[in-house]
Amino acid sequence: MQTPWIAPSILSADFARLGEEVDAVLKAGAQVIHFDVMDNHYVPNLTIGPPICEALRKYGVEAPIDVHLMVRPVDRIVPDFAAAGATFISFHPEATEHVDRTIELIREHGCKPGLVFNPATPLDYLDYTLEKLDMVLLMSVNPGFGGQKFIPSALRKLAEVRKRIDAIDRPVRLEIDGGVKVDNIQAIARAGADTFVAGSAIFGSKDYAKTIREMHVQIEAAKGPAK
């Protein structure tokens, strides 16, 4: 298990002040910035692309940027995100023709590949890919919007992926995305996640540092007995 990371999703940030918002969550204790890319095609919403990622790098953001691609096709946009300063690039296997080729493409461009599983997507895609990944991202909502409710079956799925990751000899982050809050993050950590995306829970709170601190306290508590 790797050190826990809180990954604020900038989908819920104030886009008119994006640089300041990113600085604020990093100063507040976040380890990585979650960057949601939606294309109004693979998902019914439209967000941000490589120029915004590049703008954050030019603004001075040095933290890892965790790009979550909710786009189809995937391969066309990978080199652009690599050039724009992405650290991780995760994609949905249903959205690409050749999953292995897309993983290789991300790696060739110097980024860390991740595979994303929708709530109803079985884990079979991991059978021949896990050894090549730096991240497995489990969706605990259907992709497309912030502020949705956590789908409880994600806990069972997390536990399954945790077992698979622990069985291989390389570090792979296990990330959860959707409906993560202070009051459910302990159960999520207990199920095996080590990277926690939170959009509305952080950017919707008044005090980012307090929220992130409380999340870390709950993650730490997950190491002890369940209450």
Active-site residue flag, 100: no
* Residue 56 contacts which entry, Zn ion, ligand DX5, none (Cβ below 5-8 A, type-dependent): none
Longest dimension (CA), the chain: 48
Q: Which residues bind ligand DX5 (CB under 6 A)?
A: 9, 11-12, 34, 36, 68, 141, 143-148, 177-180, 197-201
Q: How far is the CB of 194 from ligand DX5 (least distance, A)?
A: 16
CB of 212 to ligand DX5, least distance (A): 13
**Minimum distance from CB of 151 to Zn ion (Å)?**
14
In the complex, the residues that contact Zn ion under the rule CB under 5 A are: 36, 68, 177
Of 36 and 134, CB closest to Zn ion: 36
The position carrying tokens 């005090």 is 207
Nearer to ligand DX5, 51 or 147 (CB): 147
Return the structure tokens found at 63.
Answer: 């933290």
3-class state of residue 54 by DSSP: helix
Active site residue 36: yes
> One of 23, 177, 183, 194 is an active-site residue; which one?
177
Residue 23 C-beta-side C-alpha neighbours within 13 Å: 9
Tell me which of ligand DX5, Zn ion, none is bound by residue 148, counting a contact when its beta carbon lies within the kind-specific cut-off of 5 to 8 angstroms: ligand DX5
Q: Cis peptide before 152, with omega less than 30 degrees from 0? A: no
Counting Cβ atoms within 10 Å, is residue 207 exposed (0-12), middle (13-18) or buried (19+)? Answer: exposed
When the beta carbons of 38 and 219 are compared against Zn ion, the nearer one is 38
Cβ at position 222, least distance to Zn ion in Å: 22
SS (H, E, C) 79-142: HHHHHCCCCEEEECHHHCCCHHHHHHHHHHCCCEEEEEECCCCCHHHHCCCHHHCCEEEEECCC
Q: Which residues are the active-site residues?
A: 36, 177
